[in-house]
Structure 1
């Protein structure tokens, strides 16, 4: 497992003046991450390792609740509807009551909502609980992103990278664990997920300091007028809504096509675990290789890889074929994740960071609504081949759009004096 060393600086011997000769090496202290980031990473690790429900929600709804694939996809989309509100609410709360308090509300609310969803046995109760899960689960994302965006720009790529790495280490643990537990029933998944949400809240309460700077009422700006004038931000939002729609439909359609080919929950969990394992192994290296490179180019290439991987996963039938498709779109996912948070943090005005990061995270939530709906509808009514072709075409279109936006994006971030 990759770890990050936190060096300590030794004091000079007594009676000896430290040398003023400049070092030829960059200061390692400049590369260090503050305790805040490590605490957030621990929170991500715990919450994602216990996040057993979401990746298996389609299987739970179709096998335990006897819902049709389309209805199950719609329930997963309802979680995404809650996510949209969660991102906007999390950004607003992060700027108003603070990043730390927003995370606490999110994790404790998630525990309650998960227990409600696992106990629901009627469609109205399932719909309400699904929205509640989405509304609370993602409060952490904009608040945590805003806390990282409060750091100096030179630390952001590595800080966001560490959070992404920790989340996916937890995710890889969750998928294998959930795949094994699901063979004996799904109830335990909900209780474990709720418990780890409470543990994550305890880490925030004990280890995460508040980073929001006090702002007087007179100096507060409304988000919408600023956002509507920010054309690069609006363009990035549109591209990322399309990207996350492409990416997140995979989590609704992959278990269905694998099940149709005779693969059980354990095989699905093992294949999906490759996603987390590949990220744990490759993402620290990706941060070193991609930091300082053109953001739009990295994002464009990464998005087309996700399209190619999603297209491959729709047409293969063997376990090895599914594993290969997951590896391809995981490479793209890593590239997007390395640049996503730092790019939006560079676009965000200092006084609107929480809300800008909330809006950025909302693109993920909108994709979580459209992705399961579009993917399951295409699979049901047009078949696997059409679904695969749509993935590839969308990936190519995203590549072209992100590359076209590149010059404007670089100029806009540079003008704000907030480079990543």
Structure 2
């Protein structure tokens, strides 16, 4: 599965600005305390009902859905650096407002702004990586960012429980503080990388993206992937509970996802960069689907743990290569918008479709159908991604030629 013409020499050193982005991702995730504990804070500290607390959490999700689209648009219009600074400083302010809010109106508004600001930086970071690096270097770079996110989140989920026992307000202030630290790193170490164009005003995103059949098909495939992936956070805990396993066991089993990523990712990132990207993407989605499909035949904690390990291996390959593939698809002048639209549409819609489809299939058709459906969908995505590979290769060659021409 090695990519034709893939370099065999040692990988080049990544620039200082990239490592600044890596630190930002790590710091931001190390302080991601509030969202996992938001419902507990609202019910225990603010004494809201479970339904109201869930609706407030949904307001954060609603902000997140539009966040990447807005972030991508801003990164193309006002610059990557300004967008990241707005996102990090805005997140800090919104978290402090949410933690001090007393009226329901303020809580609702602050929750939405937390979601809106919280993901604003993502397409700007991805676009900056694509601006800084040559196409052959991007897989390794995106893989390292993915590793930083999971390393930080693994630490934060453990430490957040300890801090919450001291007081929920501490979670908000530390989370806001880490956002400020991330902003200061951007301020000091990351230059503006948005390409300067000479051919006049920038094009509008949607008219271009909606005519890009390859890009739209990629989004459709990624929605399918996200539909499978979110079964780990919706259907899986319900099935494990039906098998008589306590929620603490589910917590330990799903924690294997982060552990495997943190342990395995650093050792495979350079190797993954040598593979054919569309084929790796297709194989990774197949592994994820089959990993979830194991749920049809397991009933013990170790069986579910094996399932998580299998689909996590697929997730590592998927996450490492997806950003590079999308960066090749994106026109230079709309790079941020393309990446933001892809992230919002695929995982935004997948986070809605996945839980609804999985839990309803579980309720009305049974667990075997739910898990085997994941396996079948993984096979369909594998075939669809392979069918799209020639078009993706053509776009990658065009992107590489344009980059070479711009550098000459």
Secondary structure (helix, strand or coil) at the match of 1:218 reads coil
CA separation in 1, counterparts of 2:287 and 2:309?
10
Over 3 Å counting, the alpha-carbon distance change for 1:384 and 1:419 in structure 2 is farther
**Structure 2 unmatched ranges of 5 or more:** 1-6, 404-408
CA separation in 1, counterparts of 2:306 and 2:37?
21
CA separation in 1, counterparts of 2:389 and 2:380?
15
CA separation in 2, counterparts of 1:54 and 1:374?
24
Could you tell me which residue of structure 1 aligns to residue 383 of structure 2?
A: 400
CA separation in 1, counterparts of 2:239 and 2:62?
25
Q: Is the Cα contact below 8 Å between 2:245 and 2:301 reproduced in 1?
A: no
Cα-to-partner distance string for 1:321-379 (whole Å, 9 max, x where unaligned): 33222212211110111111110111111121111221222222332333344445545
**Pairwise CA distance, 1:42:** 0.4
Over 3 Å counting, the alpha-carbon distance change for 1:128 and 1:359 in structure 2 is same
CA separation in 1, counterparts of 2:246 and 2:324?
38
Aligned pairs for 1:276-287 within 5 A: 276-287=258-269
Could you tell me which residue of structure 2 aligns to residue 226 of structure 1?
A: 208
Over 3 Å counting, the alpha-carbon distance change for 1:388 and 1:62 in structure 2 is farther
Could you tell me which residue of structure 2 aligns to residue 12 of structure 1?
A: none
Over 3 Å counting, the alpha-carbon distance change for 1:59 and 1:393 in structure 2 is farther
Over 3 Å counting, the alpha-carbon distance change for 1:305 and 1:233 in structure 2 is same
Q: TM-score, normalised by structure 2?
A: 0.83
**Structure 1 unmatched ranges of 5 or more:** 1-24
Cα-to-partner distance string for 1:51-81 (whole Å, 9 max, x where unaligned): 134445577678885526xx87776554343
Could you tell me which residue of structure 2 aligns to residue 263 of structure 1?
A: 246
Count matched residues: 392
Secondary structure (helix, strand or coil) at the match of 1:31 reads coil
**Residue 303 of structure 1: which of 279, 285, 302 is its match?**
285
Secondary structure (helix, strand or coil) at the match of 1:141 reads helix
Cα-to-partner distance string for 1:371-399 (whole Å, 9 max, x where unaligned): 34444554566554443233223222212
Over 3 Å counting, the alpha-carbon distance change for 1:90 and 1:405 in structure 2 is same
Q: Does 1:165 align with 2:147?
A: yes
Over 3 Å counting, the alpha-carbon distance change for 1:312 and 1:66 in structure 2 is farther
CA separation in 1, counterparts of 2:197 and 2:240?
52
Q: Is the Cα contact below 8 Å between 1:75 and 1:127 reproduced in 2?
A: yes
Tell which deviates more after alignment, 174-183 or 224-233: 174-183
CA separation in 1, counterparts of 2:114 and 2:287?
30
Instruction: Give the superposed CA RMSD.
Output: 3.3
CA separation in 2, counterparts of 1:231 and 1:340?
17
Over 3 Å counting, the alpha-carbon distance change for 1:418 and 1:78 in structure 2 is farther
CA separation in 2, counterparts of 1:56 and 1:310?
27
**Residue 76 of structure 2: which of 95, 104, 108 is its match?**
95
CA separation in 2, counterparts of 1:202 and 1:309?
40
**Pairwise CA distance, 1:256:** 5.1
Q: Is the Cα contact below 8 Å between 2:195 and 2:332 reproduced in 1?
A: no
**Pairwise CA distance, 1:147:** 0.3
Could you tell me which residue of structure 2 aligns to residue 144 of structure 1?
A: 125
Tell which deviates more after alignment, 340-349 or 188-197: 188-197
**Pairwise CA distance, 1:276:** 1.9
Over 3 Å counting, the alpha-carbon distance change for 1:200 and 1:313 in structure 2 is farther
Q: Is the Cα contact below 8 Å between 2:144 and 2:269 reproduced in 1?
A: no
CA separation in 1, counterparts of 2:159 and 2:264?
22
**Residue 135 of structure 2: which of 140, 153, 156 is its match?**
153
Could you tell me which residue of structure 2 aligns to residue 84 of structure 1?
A: 65
Q: TM-score, normalised by structure 1?
A: 0.81
Tell which deviates more after alignment, 206-215 or 155-164: 206-215
Q: Does 1:355 align with 2:337?
A: yes
Q: Is the Cα contact below 8 Å between 2:127 and 2:336 reproduced in 1?
A: yes
Q: Is the Cα contact below 8 Å between 2:137 and 2:273 reproduced in 1?
A: no
CA separation in 2, counterparts of 1:183 and 1:321?
32
Q: Does 1:111 align with 2:92?
A: yes
Tell which deviates more after alignment, 320-329 or 232-241: 320-329
Q: Does 1:414 align with 2:405?
A: no
Q: Is the Cα contact below 8 Å between 2:135 and 2:400 reproduced in 1?
A: no
Secondary structure (helix, strand or coil) at the match of 1:293 reads coil
CA separation in 1, counterparts of 2:255 and 2:215?
33
CA separation in 1, counterparts of 2:329 and 2:401?
8
Aligned pairs for 1:370-381 within 5 A: 370-378=353-361
